[in-house]
Each structure stands twice: as C-alpha cells, then as structure tokens.
Amino acid sequence: MRKLSLFGLLFLVIRRDLLLAMRRRSDVLTTLFFFVMIVSLFPLGVGPEPDMLRKMAGGVVWVSALLASMLSLARMFSADYLDGTLEQMMLSPQSLSVLVLGKIVAHWMSSGLPLVLIAPVLGLQFGMPVQALGMLMLALLLGTPVLSMMGAIGAALTLGLRGGGVLVSLLVLPLCIPVLIFGSGAIQAVSSGMSAASNLALLGAFLLLALVFTPFVTAQALKISME
C-alpha cells in the first residue's frame, strides 16, 4: 500500500472530521448561536449610546468569540476517544502530530470560521465603521486558530476526566488572554484612526508559534492521557 504524504494525511483527517461535524450540525449551530446571543445581549444591557457601543465593540466580540470557542473544545478528541479511533491513531505509523494538526484545523473550520464570517454582521449592532469591521474579520481570522490550538492542549490533557469541559476552560482561558488583548487592540486602533500593524504582527507571531509547537505538545498530552 502506498504510504500517504504528510499533506495527503492532513487532508484526509480534515475531510473526515468535517464530514463528522456536518453529521452533528447541532454542535456547530450551538456554538454559533451562543456567540450571536452573547454579542447581541450587550447593546440591550448597556443602552443605545452610540459612542459607548463603538468603544466596547471590539472587546465584546472577542470575549464572546473566546467563550463560544470554549463550548466545543471538550468534544475535539472525546468522540474518537470513546469509539477507539484515537487509540488506533496513536498506534498507526503515521505522525501523531500531523493527525492532531488535522483535527485542530477541522475544529477551527467548523467552529471558529463561522464566527469570523458572522462577526461583521454582529458588529453593525455597535455602529462600527467599515474599516473596523474589516479589521475585526482580519483579527479574528488570525486569532481564532490560536484559540483552537491552545484549546487542543487543554482538551488533550483533560481527555477522559469527569468534568473535563470545565477544566479545559480553566486551563485555556489564561493562555488566550494575550490573543484577546491584541485582537481587540487592533480594532480599537483602527477605530481611533491609528495603525493596527503592531497588533496584527503580534497576532501573526502567536499564530506561527502555535502552529509550530501546539501539534507536538498536544500529541504528547494525548499520549499521557491515554496511558
């Protein structure tokens, strides 16, 4: 049998997990509706003052995206763990880090990417200008994959534990604070007429670092959890 290349293996894992996610559409929709509800409640709670809404828009959307992403983290490896697929992956001769990366990418495409696409529509509730809406999408596009990668480490460490969903949130939330700060800072900078290049550069650096290290760290965490 011809051995798959790393990119071929990555594509197969992403395709498999996306197909499984489409069969469980309720999980995807739950994350999306939760994000919409949190963002939409803030204008109702703080009042219709336009200046206040514009100032808080970036932070509100980012905090909402972070909380919404926490909902699906516990399910990243749990289904494969319960049906034995994860054990087979670990016993296979293929690179476990590549398999983990494929699962992280599929998780982001099914939970993070929908948030990026709908965020500008929700930003209109806060009266955000067009430039800020574009920056909102760009910042989320750079930052939400980091949330999925950081979340993968927490999901791997708490795999099989009772109350793992709460533990994942406690482990992951402190690690995601820098992404939250610079992501919302980029939007604030554009809204104030300043350059957001430094914030975007730092988000890009976080993304590259996470892309290099988190698949390997997550793979090691899975091995520890499975022992």
pLDDT, tens digit, 9 for 90 and up, residues 4-58: 677 788 888 889 888 888 888 787 888 889 999 988 888 887 777 778 888 888 8
Range with the poorest average pLDDT among 22-36, 78-92, 93-107: 78-92
* pLDDT for position 164: 61
Handedness of CA 193, 194, 197, 199 (dihedral sign): negative
Residue 54 lies in a domain: yes
Under the banding of pLDDT at 50, 70 and 90, the label for residue 145 is very high
Residue 88 lies in a domain: yes
pLDDT at 92 over 80: no
Q: 169 CB contacts (<8 Å, ≥6 apart)?
A: 70, 73, 154
Contacts 24+ apart (CB under 8 A), 31-37: 31/68, 31/69, 31/71, 31/72, 31/111, 31/114, 31/115, 32/68, 32/114, 32/115, 32/118, 34/67, 34/68, 34/71, 35/64, 35/65, 35/68, 35/115, 35/118, 35/122, 36/118, 36/122
Q: Which amino acid is at 96?
A: L
Residue 120 lies in a domain: yes
Determine the distance from the C-alpha atom of residue 189 to the mean position of all C-alpha atoms in its chain, rounded to a whole number. 23
* pLDDT for position 71: 83
More confidently predicted of 211 and 226: 211
User: What 3-state class would DSSP assign to 194?
Assistant: coil
> What percent of the chain shows pLDDT beyond 90?
28
Q: How far apart are CA 106 and CA 18, in angstroms?
A: 6
Residue 217 lies in a domain: yes
pLDDT at 226 over 80: no
More confidently predicted of 220 and 51: 220
Q: Give the mean model confidence (pLDDT) for residues 126-136.
A: 88
* pLDDT for position 12: 87
- Please give the structure tokens belonging to residue 190: 């554009």
Q: How far apart are CA 220 and CA 227, in angstroms?
A: 11
Structural domain count, the chain: 1
How far from 133 is each of 47, 122, 186, CA to CA, in Å? 21, 10, 11
pLDDT at 116 over 80: yes
Residue 26 lies in a domain: yes
* pLDDT for position 77: 82
Q: How far apart are CA 131 and CA 211, in angstroms?
A: 28
Q: 0.85 exceeded by the pTM?
A: yes
HSE, side-chain direction, 13 A CA sphere, residue 1: 3
Q: Give the mean model confidence (pLDDT) for residues 94-101.
A: 87
Residue 1 lies in a domain: no
pLDDT at 227 over 80: no
Mean of the per-residue pLDDT values of the chain: 85
Segments forming the whole domain that contains residue 45? 6-226
* pLDDT for position 108: 93
